[in-house]
Amino acid sequence: MKKQLNQRVAAAALILSCASSAALAEGHLLAVGGMLRASNSPVYAKFIELAGGQKEARIVIMPTASGSQGSSKRFMGELVALGIPAERISIVGIDKSNYQTTMNDAAVVKPLGEASAVWFVGGDQARIARALFNADGSPSLLMQAVRKVYDKGGVVAGTSAGASILGAQMPTAYGVVMDTLDFGVASKADQRGAAVLKGSGLFSGGIIDQHLDQIEETSTGRAARMAAYLTEQKSTRGFGLDTNTAMWVNPEGQVQVLGEGYLTVMDASQAEKTFGVYGTQLSNVRLAMLGNGDRYDLASGQVQPAEGKAAIEAGNEYLVGNQLITDLSAVSAIGRAVLYGLADNTAMRQVGLMTRYNPLNGYHYGYRFEFSKTADFSAHSQFYDSLTNYSVGGVRLDIRPVNANLGDPASSAPKDAGNGAAGDAIRAVSFRGLMTLNGQNAFEPQRPITRLELANALQMTLAAEPKLDALPTLTDIGADDPMRDQLNTVLSNGWMTSADAFAGNQPVTRKEWALACKALVERYQGISLAKTAALTDLAGVDKAYADAASLTVGEGWLQAEKGRFNPDAPVTRAEVAQALAKVSGLLKL
Q: pLDDT tens, 464-517? A: 999 999 999 999 999 999 999 999 999 999 999 999 999 999 999 999 999 999
Those residues with Cβ within 8 angstroms of residue 527's Cβ, 6 or more apart along the chain or in another chain: 521
18, pLDDT greater than 70: no
Q: What pLDDT is recorded for position 67?
A: 86
Strands (DSSP E) found in 414-518: none
Q: pLDDT tens, 443-467? A: 999 999 999 999 999 999 999 999 9
Q: What pLDDT is recorded for position 385?
A: 78
* Euclidean distance between CA atoms 174 and 331, whole angstroms: 18
6, pLDDT greater than 60: no
Q: What pLDDT is recorded for position 187?
A: 86
SS3 category, 392: strand
Name the pLDDT band for 3 (thresholds 50, 70, 90).
Answer: very low
Query: At residue 466, what are phi and psi to the nearest 5 degrees?
Result: -75, 155
Q: pLDDT tens, 351-378? A: 999 999 999 999 999 999 999 999 999 9
Q: What pLDDT is recorded for position 215?
A: 82
Q: What pLDDT is recorded for position 234?
A: 72
* Euclidean distance between CA atoms 98 and 561, whole angstroms: 48
Bridge-based pairing of strands 117-120 and 59-62 is parallel
Those residues with Cβ within 8 angstroms of residue 265's Cβ, 6 or more apart along the chain or in another chain: 16, 237, 238, 239, 240, 287, 288, 289, 290, 296, 303
Q: What pLDDT is recorded for position 34?
A: 96
Q: Angle formed by the axes of helices 510-525 and 451-462, to 10°?
A: 10
Amino acid (one-letter) located at 496: M
* Euclidean distance between CA atoms 162 and 570, whole angstroms: 50
Those residues with Cβ within 8 angstroms of residue 87's Cβ, 6 or more apart along the chain or in another chain: none
Q: What pLDDT is recorded for position 588?
A: 65
Q: What pLDDT is recorded for position 31?
A: 98
Lowest mean per-residue pLDDT among 6-20, 50-64, 84-98, 491-505: 6-20
CA atoms within 13 A on the CB side of 551: 20
> In sequence order, which ranges of 152-190 are alpha helices (DSSP H)?
161-164, 179-183
CB atoms within 10 A of CB 37: 13
* Euclidean distance between CA atoms 224 and 229, whole angstroms: 9
Q: pLDDT tens, 73-124? A: 999 999 999 999 999 999 999 999 999 999 999 999 999 999 999 999 999 9
37, pLDDT greater than 70: yes
218, pLDDT greater than 70: no
Q: What pLDDT is recorded for position 14?
A: 39
**What are the respective helix, strand and coil percentages of the chain, to the nearest 5?**
30, 25, 45
* Euclidean distance between CA atoms 163 and 207, whole angstroms: 10
Q: With CA atoms as reference, report the closest residue to 57 among 76, 95, 85.
A: 85
Bridge-based pairing of strands 263-267 and 279-290 is antiparallel
Those residues with Cβ within 8 angstroms of residue 38's Cβ, 6 or more apart along the chain or in another chain: 44, 78, 81
What is the rounded average pLDDT for all residues in the chain?
93
Q: In what order do the strands lie in the sheet with 117-120?
A: 14-15, 302-304, 295-297, 254-259, 245-249, 28-32, 155-159, 117-120, 59-62, 89-91
23, pLDDT greater than 80: no
CB atoms within 10 A of CB 229: 25
- Rounded alpha-carbon distances, angstroms, from residue 233 to 212, 217, 229, 319, 374: 20, 30, 6, 36, 23
Name the pLDDT band for 587 (thresholds 50, 70, 90).
Answer: confident
Please say whether the beta carbons of 57 and 88 come within 8 A: yes
188, pLDDT greater than 90: no
Burial of 179 (0-12, 13-18, 19+ CB in 10 A): buried
Query: At residue 392, what are phi and psi to the nearest 5 degrees?
Result: -135, 135
* Euclidean distance between CA atoms 506 and 496, whole angstroms: 13
> In sequence order, which ranges of 470-563 are alpha helices (DSSP H)?
484-492, 510-525, 543-554
Sign of CA dihedral 442, 444, 449, 454: positive
Name the pLDDT band for 24 (thresholds 50, 70, 90).
Answer: very low
- Rounded alpha-carbon distances, angstroms, from residue 473 to 18, 326, 452, 500: 58, 37, 16, 6
How many helical (H) and strand (E) elements, i.e. helices and strands, does the chain have?
A: 17, 21
Please say whether the beta carbons of 127 and 135 come within 8 A: no
295, pLDDT greater than 50: yes
- Torsion (CA) 464, 483, 449, 506 in degrees, nearest 10: -120
Q: What pLDDT is recorded for position 130?
A: 96
DSSP tag of 48: H
* Euclidean distance between CA atoms 514 and 495, whole angstroms: 10
Please say whether the beta carbons of 119 and 162 come within 8 A: yes
Q: With CA atoms as reference, report the closest residue to 398 among 227, 230, 277.
A: 227
SS3 category, 322: coil
- Work out the average pLDDT over 386-402: 96
